Amino acid sequence: MATPAFEYYQAHQKQFLEGLIRLLKVPSISTLPEHKPDVRSAANFLADEFRAMGMQRVEIIEGAEGQNPLVYAEWLGASGKPTLLFYGHYDVQPPDPLEEWSSPPFEPSIRNQNIYARGSSDDKGQTYILVKAVEGFLKSEGRLPVNVKFLIEGEEEVGGEHIEAFVPKNPEKLRADAAIICDTEMFAPELPTITTGLRGLVYTEVEARGAAHDLHSGMYGGAAPNPMQALAEIISRLKGPDGKIRIPGFYQRVERPSAKELAAWKRLPFKEKEFLKKEVGSRALTGEKGYSVLERLWARPTLEVHGIRGGFTGEGAKTVIPAVATAKISMRLVPAMNPKEVIRQFTAYVKKLTPPGIQTSVRVLSSAPSSVVSTENRYIEAAAEAMEQVFKKKTVYMRSGGSIPIAGLFDRYLKTPVVMMGFGLPDDRLHAPNEKFYLPNFYRGIEAVGRYMELLGS
């Protein structure tokens, strides 16, 4: 691999890192309205890079009012060669709780070959791998081995409304032989991995209303309905202590992975004790009995409460019975569950569980189906080969418990195979304090994507 592009990769690691640090410094938190200017600034940063490295066409694509822009770039000079659509996202999750970060979330800090910052792994670091892999060819050879289109979004963490509207309307512009999503992780350090399945997501807010206004728990406790108590009752009945979700019909369409896939997962270097100790750090794992941890994480649906708003949570003691309380509750879906059906089942069951005196309403914040891809296609095989050559280990296939709605979207509207090459690590703490990205994977990721283009172009 001593081509000019690979020499460029080796020679420019310092510049690549500097560029990544600049991108990580932008607090492009898509869920917080006050960060709108930062979100735009991250989009502009990428567009500027695309222009500077010589992409033929670069666009900042505006959506409906309030939506974050898509960044599009293309280089289509490899006549007769395959076309790849590269996907990533430049928006990030909120960093709270801030006090748990060892270094500030938007001041990247390098410790032990890891770069710590919100978005370092999810997904700026990985998006930047795609950008730099392409830059290497353009800057050193003036051309790419294949045709490339980039589509980078800024709403991945908030439901992706813009891209969801854009893709179905622009199949021609986005037409490609394969879509490469760089937003997943490797099963273990040094173990090249391709993700072949993702869980879907239904994210809701359940609001419970009791009295017309907040009440004093001394004066009214014992007769007035308490919406916090009602939410606790509803939540505890949605999922049993055995990890089984109690929503009627919820499991009816669930398909188990094939015996072959389950057998392959058993061969993965997974140690439950280590996972518990190093990744989770709790006293015990939870979840459905009768399923391995990997199956629970990748191929079983779940239901989680993310937070409950309402009442008094400050310092000290306020004896209030709140009038309103709201719980954020999401479900992860697996093949072949249907998000719309799940929303109906969930809403109906919440209504049914609502105790007397309380009124509930369910609002859906985002939803996406699960997706699985077949490993038997040229674009996945080449990706496995490229990663193997760079990492010097046989590539494994895994699924992910997370949700990347864009995978289903590409599959459905572009009819293109989706290749999920990821370079994150299991302990990257996505969405949590002290998110980090392992820098050797940043550099090897760039080489792997470069090699992938070479393999497909040869």
Residues 13-52 that bind its own copies (CB under 8 A): 31-33
Of residues 115 through 144, those in contact with its own copies by CB under 8 A are: none
205 phi/psi in degrees, rounded to 5? -120, 125
Q: How many CB atoms lie within 10 A of CB 32?
A: 16
Using CB under 8 A as the binding rule, whether residue 348 contacts its own copies is answered as no
Using CB under 8 A as the binding rule, whether residue 420 contacts its own copies is answered as no
Alpha-carbon gap, residue 140 to 287, rounded angstroms: 51
Span of 74-82, 153-161, 374-382, 413-421 interacting with its own copies by CB under 8 A: 153-161
Alpha-carbon gap, residue 307 to 273, rounded angstroms: 28
Span of 37-45, 77-85, 127-135, 307-315 interacting with its own copies by CB under 8 A: 307-315
- Residue 389, SS3? helix
Alpha-carbon gap, residue 41 to 60, rounded angstroms: 11
Using CB under 8 A as the binding rule, whether residue 201 contacts its own copies is answered as yes
Please give the structure tokens belonging to residue 341: 């059906």
Using CB under 8 A as the binding rule, whether residue 286 contacts its own copies is answered as yes
355 phi/psi in degrees, rounded to 5? -75, 165
Q: Could you say which DSSP state residue 158 is in?
A: G
Instruction: Output the smallest distance, CB 237 to its own copies, in A.
Output: 8
Using CB under 8 A as the binding rule, whether residue 158 contacts its own copies is answered as yes
Alpha-carbon gap, residue 131 to 455, rounded angstroms: 18
Span of 5-13, 40-48, 234-242, 338-346 interacting with its own copies by CB under 8 A: 234-242
Extract long-range pairs of 163-172: CB within 8 Å, 24+ residues apart: 163/70, 163/406, 163/409, 164/405, 164/409, 165/63, 165/64, 166/61, 166/63, 166/70, 167/406, 167/409, 167/410, 167/413, 167/414, 168/409, 168/413, 171/413, 171/414
CB nearer to its own copies: pick between 179 and 321: 321
CB nearer to its own copies: pick between 149 and 239: 239
Size of the site for its own copies (CB under 8 A): 101
CB nearer to its own copies: pick between 137 and 349: 349
Alpha-carbon gap, residue 297 to 398, rounded angstroms: 11
Residue among 116, 187, 203, 437 that touches its own copies (CB under 8 A): 203
Contact characters 378-407, its own copies, x per CB under 8 A: ----------------------xxxx----
Contact characters 431-450, its own copies, x per CB under 8 A: xxxx----------------
Using CB under 8 A as the binding rule, whether residue 268 contacts its own copies is answered as no
